[in-house]
Structure 1
Amino acid sequence: MPTTLWQAGRIARPALYARPQDPVGRVLAALKQAGFSRAPVWDGRQVTGALTARTWQRLLFEGLDPDRVTAAQVQEPPLPQVTPAAGLLEVLDGLARAPAVVVAAPGRPPGIITYVDVVRDAAPYLWLRELEQVLRALLYCLEASGPRGGWLALLPPAQARRIEEYCRRDGGSDPLDYVDLYDLRQLVEAGWDRWFRSWLSPLDLGAALDLLDRLRHARNDVAHMRDLSPGQRQELEQAVRRLREPVRRRLLDEPPTRPDRR
């Protein structure tokens, strides 16, 4: 669906840009005030270059007065450029070659993307991936004392077969690598009293299941690249922390080990 495609223009921040005729000293002062370290040079139609840390180093080395030279006279080659419709692959390719990528369209002021912007945008996905990793590590840690037949024995047979089929089709060696938040929610509910209560304390069963349900629904939005409001992001981060912290803290004290299957 086009509305869910990742597009550079969606996360680009307005760039603090210089005009070719701007005195470099004025641009440097504006960058310092804004807390930025680089500025595209834009002539009103297209990006022609960039002022970067290398520019300032060269001015110092050559003894040039920043107030007496213009951006056009000292600009570096342009930073990597992408269109507003560019995907993540193109943006990451640019960031592999430079500290920032310029988002440019003819006749429009440029935007800019750094690694910080990409990581911030990807944070909800990474939070959820880490939570799944932590909960799987918990299953590994408890496996020796787990249910006869393994953790999948706690799930409905059709659901267990689905996970095993995913694993087999993917060439995996362990079905637990393929359990998702829905599966984990059911495992926690089925094995709460015997295995999970102490690990998820101070949460009770109702609170743990509620958090897992909310996170599962949020994961669908994140997986489909639907934008989250600031309030939704904050709620998601808090929910992940409430489930993650007690388990992760204890796992660091008691590193998970797989039982010897020989």
Structure 2
Amino acid sequence: MQIFNQKEALIQFLKQEKTENKTLGLVPTMGALHKGHLSLVEKALINNDVVVVSIFVNPTQFDNKTDLEKYPKTFDRDLETLKLLNENIIIFAPSAEDIYDNNVTSETFDFDGLEHQMEGKYRSGHFDGVGTIVRKLFTIVQPDNAYFGEKDFQQLQIIRKMAAKNQLPVNIVGCPISREENGLAMSSRNERLPQDIRKEASFIYKTLLQAKDKFGTESAIDTVNWIEKQFSKHSDFSLEYAEIADEKTLKPVKTKKENKRYRLFVAVYANDIRLIDNVALN
């Protein structure tokens, strides 16, 4: 397993790989790897000759400094996990100074309004930070394929939009949400949950599935109102938002149409830990 901490060294190494006409896959992560991350890596390994996994906690996408400070850092464990998966994985673990050239600031992006929905309403500057780091990684690695999980579905759509608008020669691959046995969407933040709350968090996914059934016969507004009512009864979880949106535009649904695909999104606080999840509705 080769580990690169500086982008120039990685760029020079990958140049040689590219001359051999090898396909290159990138899996961007912030570390604290779990089975959800590994499912992305496994898919990348199947579809590419060379796979780069980046491990970098990107400061520009955190609107909350405390959240950044508390984000779990398990680099040594992550390396061992990836090594067991495949010893040929290439690790890119830069410092913020290296990847940002000593200027840790976000660029400003126009994602055609995708950035103003849901997470964009509650996390100021978040998607500018996401766009900045992902474009930097694409420039450095120049992957043929890049893999992102559908748990962050809004982020996935935004990255697709960025790649399309900037004509970036990379295929964006969305991968299904990985879940714990009780249905909780896998997240690095789950490690911070008390065990009793982590077990009880099955409530989130169960509520999404029940809402999916309701959406088949009821309006989007009635379905969202029902979700809000369910969470109001549960003292362990505080619902920040529940929204049913068009998968393509991410705009809230007003009237259901047969030729549109819809998805239900929620953000929930368990204690001070923020969890997000979503399900396709049709």
Q: Which is helix-richer, 1 or 2?
A: 1
Q: TM-score, normalising length from structure 2?
A: 0.22
Higher-Rg member (1/2): 1
Q: Which is strand-richer, 1 or 2?
A: 2
